[in-house]
Amino acid sequence: MLFSAIFSGSEAALFSLDQASRKKLRSFGSSGKQADRLLEQPDLLLSAILFWNLLINMTYFAIAAIVGDRLGSELEHGASVTMLFTFGSLLAIIFFSEMLPKSFAVISPVWIAASMGAPLMIAFQLVRPILPLVTASNRLASRIIWPTFEPEDEISLDDIERAIELGTDDAALRRRERAALRGLVEIAETRVAELMQPRTRLWMTSDLSEIDLDTVGRCSHLMVTNLDGDMIRAAISIRTLRPSQFDQLEDNLESVIYVPWSAFASQVLDEMQSAECSVAVVVNEFGELAGAVTKNEILRFVMTTRSDEDADVAWAIQELCDSVFRAPGSVSVRSLARRLGVEAGGEGVTTLMGLVQRQNGRFPRVGDRATLGEYELSVQSETEDGWMIEIVRFDNQQGDA
């Protein structure tokens, strides 16, 4: 039961660590460093833990069956005793080897992982020769029970570009068609959180009678909230109104749809088309208002040439010297990764400040750091326009040192 608890708790502790926790783990000496090295091979580590846990649990139930059989043959009312003993053994291993150790592991994952680093490394090395076989068996079983067939693309982007090349002799028209095509492909991979206007930049009101018409040109839509002002219930497309309609704003309310921040822009556009509305309210994982996106903003992203977008990114991201950059925290991770030529990490993260917050597990502060490929991001200062972040290549830091 103790061995089963060790492996169950270690599994919960190790696989609940984020980047900031792994930094703390490495400071716990050799055992912490060993646990961190194990996490570099998560698939093999998980296979090893599950293998040992399965072996230990099978041994436990084999012993429980033997003891229960002997109790049944030696005691009066043996059948009832055997049943109670078997049921008690099951409850005991569920509570003491699964629920209790995993609860402690989630509360103190770094300490548990550091304590179990050395024993887990020994257990891992003992079964490492057979781990490829275990992994292959798991993969084969999962494919038989739950196959995940992926459909092939009916037509590739290169095929469409060749059709555009053959379809017109106008070079300017070809460039615009190619830009629109790439935009259409990109909205299927772009999260709506990258295109939305954050709630701080939205024009919102809960009382239409208090609207200052002198600020009409500031935004394309007026967002009408509930009385508490914490959620948008309707929208008004201000720029499409005739002058005479400004006196009856209530008659021009338009319904909105609600989408999670992790939804893809193409999905949101489809939903807006189906609902016949032009505004999607973006909510975070807690159901709180994060921002809003309009149909025009998504279509503008589709029609914007990539050269224009690259120019905006180049203006926002300043190159201070070789492999050293500075950028506002609002710059998207995808844009910076494209500029640096690295992979955009951090699933579900859209901005640089979001990446820093995800890796540190808290609201960013000056001095907080995060990694993006071969570069380190550090929060430098807060300005009127937001946070400024310095991006430095790792080998540059070593050279300076």
pLDDT at 171: 66
pLDDT at 150: 63
pTM, entire model = 0.47
pLDDT at 280: 93
Tokens 């690295």, residue located: 342
Among 279, 206, 291, 201, residue whose Cα is nearest residue 238: 279
Domain 306-400 has CATH 3.30.465.10: yes
pLDDT at 95: 92
Task: Provide, rounded to the nearest whole percent, the portion of the chain with pLDDT above 90.
Answer: 13
CA-to-CA distance for 174 and 230, rounded, in angstroms?
45
Among 189, 194, 218, residue whose Cα is nearest residue 309: 194
Residue 263 phi/psi, 5° resolution?
-70, 150
32-84 pLDDT per residue, tens:
888 888 888 888 888 889 889 999 999 999 999 898 888 888 777 778 888 88
Question: 119, 30 in Cβ contact below 8 A?
Answer: no
pLDDT at 401: 47
pLDDT at 313: 52
- Non-local (6+) Cβ contacts of 265 within 8 A are 187, 188, 190, 191, 192, 194, 195, 293, 298, 301
Question: 380, 326 in Cβ contact below 8 A?
Answer: yes
192-303 has which CATH code?
3.10.580.10
Domain ranges of the chain: 2-145, 157-187, 192-303, 306-400
Residues of the chain where predicted confidence (pLDDT) is lower than 50: 308, 311-312, 401
pLDDT at 4: 92
Question: 256, 234 in Cβ contact below 8 A?
Answer: yes
pLDDT at 61: 92
Strands 221-225 and 232-237: antiparallel
332-361 pLDDT per residue, tens:
777 788 778 787 765 556 678 778 877 887
